[in-house]
Amino acid sequence: MGKLYVVPTPVGNLEDMTFRAVRVLKEADLILAEDTRTSSVLLRHYAIEGELLSHHKFNEHETVQRVVRRILGSDTVALVSDAGTPGISDPGFLLVRECLKNGIEVETLPGATAFVPALVSSGLPCERFCFEGFLPQKKGRQTRLDSLKDEVRSMVFYESPRRLLKTLSQLAETFGEDRQVSVAREISKVHEEHVRGTLKEVMAHFEQTEPLGEIVIVLVGKDIADNHTESEETPQDPMQMLMGTGKKKNKYK
């Protein structure tokens, strides 16, 4: 019996590829790619040759069983997406599940993903967070946002540049325009940018500057936002602060 490797690929800079990921792809009998044209650029860069098969959300139900049979027949298969870690807002879950059902070993390599550097660089709390990925484009979109109104953890969303302003506007309507947010774009690329501030401030920036590239939005959770408001509205007595009884100024201001 073979094995399935889930292999992260760079979200921007090709140098983010790990030595182990290159080795696994070179040794694989079959490489599954979300877009063979995109993956071919990476494979040529690292002189990786081998069979390449298209595997994306529109055909994965058709290809999964074929791939499982090949692994059961002793082939080693590597799964990659266009960028980042397969399964994170990309195809991968269905194949992993079917492999596990058939007793096939699945090994996921650590590596690139867009939301981790965006979250860490945001300056917002990142010890606990929730990853929401892409919001529904139409049906269920507002319902999803409403369900997050009392979320105390930092929230991470993926978004396309053409829908960014609409999404920021909806976030402002749902959470308030003074909620702290960080928008990261073009992670690990030449024009990487992080825009931080209130939703109102960040919207104003992108109304003047057209957003381009892949987008990650990090929105602060409810408790930090409420504490931020309290610390602004409640004067702090110096003696209380010395005695440790006063309200602490929010460090995420």
* Residues 136-142, mean pLDDT to the nearest whole number: 91
Would you list the domain boundaries of the chain?
A: 3-108, 115-221
Fold of 115-221: 3.30.950
- For residue 13, give both structure tokens: 């800079």
141 band by pLDDT with thresholds 50, 70 and 90: very high
pLDDT of residue 138: 85
pLDDT of residue 224: 67
| 22-74 tens-digit pLDDT | 999 999 999 999 999 999 999 999 999 989 999 998 988 889 999 999 999 99
Q: Is the pTM of this model over 0.75?
A: yes
| 210-232 tens-digit pLDDT | 999 999 999 999 976 666 544 44
pLDDT of residue 239: 40
56 CB-side CA count, 13 A = 12
Q: Read off the DSSP letter of residue 39.
A: H
> Do residues 102 and 90 touch, judged by C-beta distance below 8 A?
no
pLDDT of residue 227: 67
* Residues 65-86, mean pLDDT to the nearest whole number: 96
Between CA 202 and CA 118 the distance in angstroms is 15
Phi-psi domain of 207 (left: phi exceeds 0; alpha: psi -120 through 50; beta: other): alpha
Between CA 92 and CA 82 the distance in angstroms is 12
Distance of CA 49 to the CA centre of its chain: 29
| 149-181 tens-digit pLDDT | 999 999 999 999 999 999 999 999 999 999 999
User: Does 244 or 171 have the greater pLDDT score?
Assistant: 171
CATH number of 3-108: 3.40.50.1820, 3.40.1010.10, 3.30.565.10, 1.10.3720.10? 3.40.1010.10
Is the pLDDT confidence value at 248 over 60?
no
